[in-house]
């Protein structure tokens, strides 16, 4: 018995298709397993003539539907729709067991005003109840529930998502090579946090053929496609997320071999290689070499190949890849050459080859070809800033303050005396070395150049607070609000609102151990906060103030309230974790909170410090050392990070390293309690 399958016409992109177009994307439809064969969908009591008449009406309705796509018939759409509906209704009147009739009516009902969704679902369910293998009915439900689930369009509607999953599984049962079913299942499994099921669906999608009709999928997922190549990259992503790095490297190497310009695949492979063991990482080398041969100017591929070599301990070979590629691109694309040269410097720096790193960074300037006494273009300036910053950080790491100062002076000479780049770095340099008088002079001189810069006002207030003059710092910031409100600032109006100012003031009071004043300012900010985002920022600041004032329960309450609304708020996650550590409570939960914060905001030095401190509390000192060293590299002026690192070195028996970090922390510390504690660790003999 011939059956007619018709796809749902959703507002987004549905189109009517016949059985040959709607079944498996392969040339020949894949047969249903024997145990799943349909029970003939007819009633023996219905005469053969009536069944034949019912099918005739079904085809008649289909002809009306096809006529709607004829440009010459556009004026009679309403009539054609009406006639199609009458034909379908007559078909199921003649044969109430005709599942395809209900499917056709479901599709037409959705397409025709008022698009009654509940009626569509009723009709489609009737179709599959009559014939559990009715492909069209399941497809109607699968696509409709997918649309209702809000997949890829905001917050997922979980009940409809689960219904969609059930229907797409039916499509996959009926057509085991249906790429659309596996693609949607993989998306839903990702949203529903079912990684194993997602990987399984992606592997089945990978072995499916690309269907001709991808309109509905693209309507939901944007410009994505249903090709096996698209599945390959998504599978690589899923494997990276589940820690299956060996298989991820294999899959993503294939993806890059197919498309050397796929930036997503390159980034995913980089992440997989970073986490994989050296042998697994090395397995990607051949694919990378082939991809570079096809695309020799792709900086991401060149960098990744060099990283693979470096991961195997072949530092000089990796350096050669960077230097040769930079030289090759220096004439055709100087900015790509600079990026490669900077990566060379980073490679040397990460392997403690400080002098080689400095030479590499300085050599990057030669690619810019900046001529003396000529203006620096905006793009040249951006790259120059990056080079200067890397040099400054490297000299700081090498404890070469004189070279830091020379580099800052060099930047001032290149950019001009009115430029603030050198001034801001000079201010940071003085602060990091505990030269607060010089830092204060430098920030005030910079404010004369940029009287509207709130950042400079904030820095001056922070330096005053570090110098034990928090009231002067607060007065400076409050004066800004007064002048802005009174309109007396003239052309020097500072771009800041009272909400932001109150948050900064609260932070200054917290830094000065004036918890009660910090609470008052944070509460004032919370009272004037408009919108969920600002309210959460204010509550996180208030929690810090409450913690400082001794109200630990209040601090925890505020942070947990933030996390109820925004579970991935990195600052709430980190702060709650750190507060628990400081109270020696729920250490495992604290570790998990901080790890989640770093997943949201990787590379944050404060979060890395918290993670290192969590491992310290858990007595995992090697892990603590690793993360605290990373934090200190990113923020070398944090007394807290340096003190923590000293504590770890003491536990590891590295006494000299512990004292060195404590001495540095003491020099930077502005808190009397912290200062006294560090002095005790140093034997009570150290002076600031």
SS3 content of the chain, % helix, strand, coil (to 5): 75, 0, 25
Which is more confidently placed, 489 or 632?
632
Domain boundaries, the chain: 606-681
What integer pLDDT is reported at residue 33 of this predicted model? 39
Per-residue pLDDT at 37? 42
The tens digit of pLDDT for each residue in 65-119 reads 787 766 555 557 778 788 888 888 888 888 899 988 898 888 888 777 777 889 9
Q: What are 249-291's pLDDT values in tens digits?
A: 999 988 888 888 888 888 898 888 888 888 888 888 888 888 8
pLDDT of residue 115: 75
pLDDT score of 73: 56
Instruction: Give per-residue pLDDT as tens, 579-597.
Output: 999 999 999 999 999 999 9
Percent of the chain with pLDDT over 90: 57
pLDDT digits (tens, 9 = 90+) for 37-56: 444 455 557 788 888 888 89
Check if the beta carbon of residue 123 is closer than 8 Å to that of residue 151: no
| 422 contact partners, CB below 8 Å, separation of at least 6 | 408, 409, 411, 412, 415
The reported pLDDT for the residue numbered 39 is 45
- Using the predicted structure, report yes or no on whether residue 9 has a pLDDT greater than 50: no
pLDDT band at 170, cuts 50/70/90?
very high
d(Cα 613, Cα 506) in Å, to the nearest integer?
A: 25
What was the pLDDT predicted at 72? 55
Structure confidence by residue, pLDDT tens digits, 427-472: 999 998 889 999 999 999 999 999 889 999 999 999 999 999 999 9
Q: Please write the tens of the pLDDT for every residue from 109-147.
A: 877 777 788 999 999 999 999 999 999 999 999 999 999
pLDDT at 51: 83
Cα angle, residue 231 at apex, residues 230 and 235 outer, rounded to 5°: 125
Asked if pLDDT for residue 498 goes beyond 70, the answer is yes
Task: Identify the architecture of domain 606-681 in CATH.
Answer: Alpha Horseshoe (1.25)
3-state secondary structure of 687: coil
The share of the chain scoring above pLDDT 70, in percent, equals 90
Q: For residues 600 and 593, is the Cβ–Cβ distance under 8 A? A: no
- Mean pLDDT over the full length of the chain: 86
């Amino acid at each position: 018995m011939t059956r007619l399958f018709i796809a749902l016409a959703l507002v987004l992109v549905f189109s009517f298709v016949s059985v040959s177009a709607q079944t498996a994307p392969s040339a020949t439809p894949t047969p249903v397993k024997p145990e799943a064969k349909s029970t003939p969908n007819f009633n023996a009591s219905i005469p053969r003539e009536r069944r034949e008449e019912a099918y005739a009406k079904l085809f008649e309705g289909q002809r009306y539907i096809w006529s709607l796509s004829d440009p010459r018939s556009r004026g009679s759409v309403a009539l054609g729709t009406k006639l199609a509906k009458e034909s379908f209704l007559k078909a199921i009147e003649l044969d109430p067991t005709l599942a395809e009739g209900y499917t056709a009516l479901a599709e037409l009902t959705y397409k025709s005003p008022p698009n009654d969704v509940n009626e569509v679902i009723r009709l489609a369910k009737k179709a599959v109840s009559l014939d559990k293998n009715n492909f069209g009915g399941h497809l109607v439900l699968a696509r409709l529930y997918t649309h209702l689930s809000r997949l890829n369009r905001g917050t997922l509607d979980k009940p409809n998502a689960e219904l969609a999953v059930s229907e797409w599984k039916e499509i996959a049962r009926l057509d085991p090579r249906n790429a659309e079913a596996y693609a949607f299942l993989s998306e839903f499994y990702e949203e529903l946090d079912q990684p194993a099921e997602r990987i399984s669906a992606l592997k089945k999608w990978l072995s499916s053929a690309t269907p001709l009709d991808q309109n509905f999928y693209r309507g939901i997922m944007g410009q994505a496609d249903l090709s096996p190549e698209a599945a390959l990259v998504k599978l690589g992503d899923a494997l990276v997320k589940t820690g299956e790095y060996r298989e991820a490297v294999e899959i993503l190497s294939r993806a890059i071999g197919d498309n050397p310009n796929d930036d997503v695949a390159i980034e995913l492979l980089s992440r997989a290689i970073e986490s994989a063991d050296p042998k697994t990482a090395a397995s990607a080398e051949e694919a990378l070499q082939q991809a570079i041969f096809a695309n020799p100017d792709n900086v991401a591929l060149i960098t990744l190949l060099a990283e693979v070599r470096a991961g195997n301990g072949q530092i000089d070979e990796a350096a050669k890849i960077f230097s040769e590629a930079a030289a090759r691109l220096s004439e055709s694309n100087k900015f790509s050459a600079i990026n490669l040269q900077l990566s060379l410097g980073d490679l040397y720096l990460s392997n403690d080859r400080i002098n080689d790193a400095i030479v590499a960074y300085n050599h990057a300037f030669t690619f810019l070809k900046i001529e003396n006494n000529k203006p620096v273009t905006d793009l040249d300036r951006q790259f120059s800033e990056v080079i200067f910053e890397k040099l400054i950080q490297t000299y700081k790491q090498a404890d070469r303050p004189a070279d830091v100062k020379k580099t800052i002076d060099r930047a001032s000479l290149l950019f001009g005396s009115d430029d603030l780049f050198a001034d801001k770095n000079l201010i940071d340099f003085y602060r990091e070395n505990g030269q607060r008088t010089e830092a204060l002079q430098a920030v005030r001189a910079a404010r004369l150049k940029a009287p509207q810069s709130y950042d400079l006002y904030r820095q001056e207030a922070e330096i005053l607070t570090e110098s034990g003059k928090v009231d002067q710092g607060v007065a400076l910031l409050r004066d800004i609000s007064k002048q802005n409100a009174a309109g007396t600032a003239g052309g020097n109006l500072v771009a800041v609102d009272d909400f932001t100012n109150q948050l900064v003031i609260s932070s200054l009071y917290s830094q000065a151990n004036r918890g009660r004043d910090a609470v008052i300012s944070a509460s004032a900010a919370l009272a004037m906060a408009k919108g969920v985002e600002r309210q959460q920022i204010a509550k996180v600041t208030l929690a810090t103030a409450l913690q400082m004032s001794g109200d630990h329960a209040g601090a925890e309450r505020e942070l947990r309230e933030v996390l109820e609304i925004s579970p991935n708020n990195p600052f709430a996650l980190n702060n709650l974790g750190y507060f628990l550590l400081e109270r020696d409570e729920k250490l495992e939960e604290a570790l998990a909170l901080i790890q989640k914060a770093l997943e949201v905001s990787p590379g944050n030095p404060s979060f890395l410090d918290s993670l290192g401190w969590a491992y310290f509390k858990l007595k995992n000192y090697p892990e603590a050392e690793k993360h605290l060293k990373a934090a200190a590299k990113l923020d070398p002026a944090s007394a807290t990070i340096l003190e923590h690192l000293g504590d770890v070195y003491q536990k590891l028996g590295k006494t000299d390293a512990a004292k060195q970090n404590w001495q540095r922390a003491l020099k930077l510390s502005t808190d009397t309690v912290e200062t006294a504690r560090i002095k005790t660790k140093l034997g009570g003999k150290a002076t600031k």
